Amino acid sequence: MIGKPRGTRDFLPDEMAKRRWLESRMRQIFEKYGYEEIATPTFENLELFTLKSGEQIMEEIYAFEDKAGRKLALRPELTAPVMRLYVEKLQMEAKPLKFYYFGNCFRYDRPQKARYREFWQFGCELIGSNRAEAIAELIAMSYDLLKSIGLKNIVLRIGNLDILRRFLDSIGKNDRQIMRLIDKKDFESLEKIMGNDFFAFEKFIETKDIDAINFPEAKRMKEILSFLDEFSIPYNLDLGIARGLEYYIGIVFEIDAPKLGAEKQIAGGGEYNLVTLLGGRHVPTAGFAIGFDRVLIALESEGFKFPLPEKPVYVAYMHGMVREAIKVARMLRSKGIKVSMDLMARNISKSLEYANRKGMRYAVIVAPDEWKNGKVLLKDMEKGEQEEVEIEKIVEKI
């Protein structure tokens, strides 16, 4: 037997119903903020991902050559593809541009709870404005979105890479390795590298009041936080956020669902500079990504009750009446009713047993005597009640 690849999943109908509901709800909220949906290819030129991150990213991505020898990769994230699209086609468009997207991504990670090799992301990009109110609205939207879908226990943390780097410069510790260790929260390694400066660093990242920061960058940060207050968004100052990708600058933020434990982060983003690296003219850019799979797990961990999809009406028929059953099924479908018709030529008892096991509320039974009089039998599976109904009035009854 051939199984599914490691780190991937199959989704059965009940799970897909949850995913489609959540997907639809998230789309509504992005569009409520004036964002428009776009889509990019599932695979891109490998250089798009190695250009900034270097060859070490090869260990984390699915890369391959096509039959013409072109080096390609399954997308490990969606920001770089969207920026590639912007540089190729949209630089002359009126600003700001507000895009959102939803798609599957691929990373060669070690599979564990809430971490898969194929996973799905919702995300958005704001292109053309870095005004304080613009960044505040972006962050507010991320929080509002997660609250609006039904999550109750989430924590928004906001940091600033300009302030963090300014502090690291002041102690002579601003380099790529330090930033990576901060991002990983590897404080044991940081203490070994920083020595006595580690305690000053530790005190710095524990700062919870922006007024206690004297660097010039704190003024803009304070303005953004004041706009978040206008949006009525609760937040925590966290100057220890570094983000994993090196193209991030300025404001960064992460949203956690504490119930998920070690893999609690469900959203993250901030300001970044990627356009010039891809050959475009400089433009302010900011955005965030939401881990769709982790959000689902977080909702389930809180006991969220997903809306149940409407079950179809089941059309059963007595022997020899399949053509009449098809007419009934066609009529109901033309009225917008979901219909599942018996396709196994079962007897009525077996058909109703099947409909019951599938959780269908109503069964329409096509029988000879009733059909002659322009009627069918309508059975309420939940109540166990059955009545004769004129064919034209089935829709009214259900």
pLDDT at 53 over 90: no
Averaged pLDDT score across all residues of the chain: 95
The Cα-based distances of 264 to 149, 175, 240, 257, 298 in angstroms read 17, 27, 16, 5, 9
Domains of the chain, first to last? 13-301 (3.30.930.10), 313-397 (3.40.50.800)
Please give the average per-residue pLDDT across 140-167, as a whole number.
97
Peptide bond into 96 cis (omega under 30): yes
Q: Are 121 and 289 in contact (CB under 8 A)?
A: yes
Please give the average per-residue pLDDT across 120-135, as a whole number.
98
pLDDT at 245 over 90: no
| Nearest CA-CA partner of 319 in 354, 366, 386, 381 | 366
Which DSSP category does 33 fall into? T
Instruction: State how beta strands 313-317 and 339-341 pair.
Output: parallel
The Cα-based distances of 221 to 21, 226, 255, 280, 336 in angstroms read 36, 9, 18, 27, 52
Instruction: State how beta strands 375-380 and 362-366 pair.
Output: antiparallel
**pLDDT (0 to 100) of residue 330:** 98
> If pLDDT is split at 50, 70 and 90, which confidence band does 102 have?
very high
| Tokens describing residue 28 | 């509504």
CA distance 293 to 260: 12
pLDDT at 114 over 90: no
> If pLDDT is split at 50, 70 and 90, which confidence band does 244 have?
low
What's the pTM value of the predicted model, to 2 decimals?
Answer: 0.92
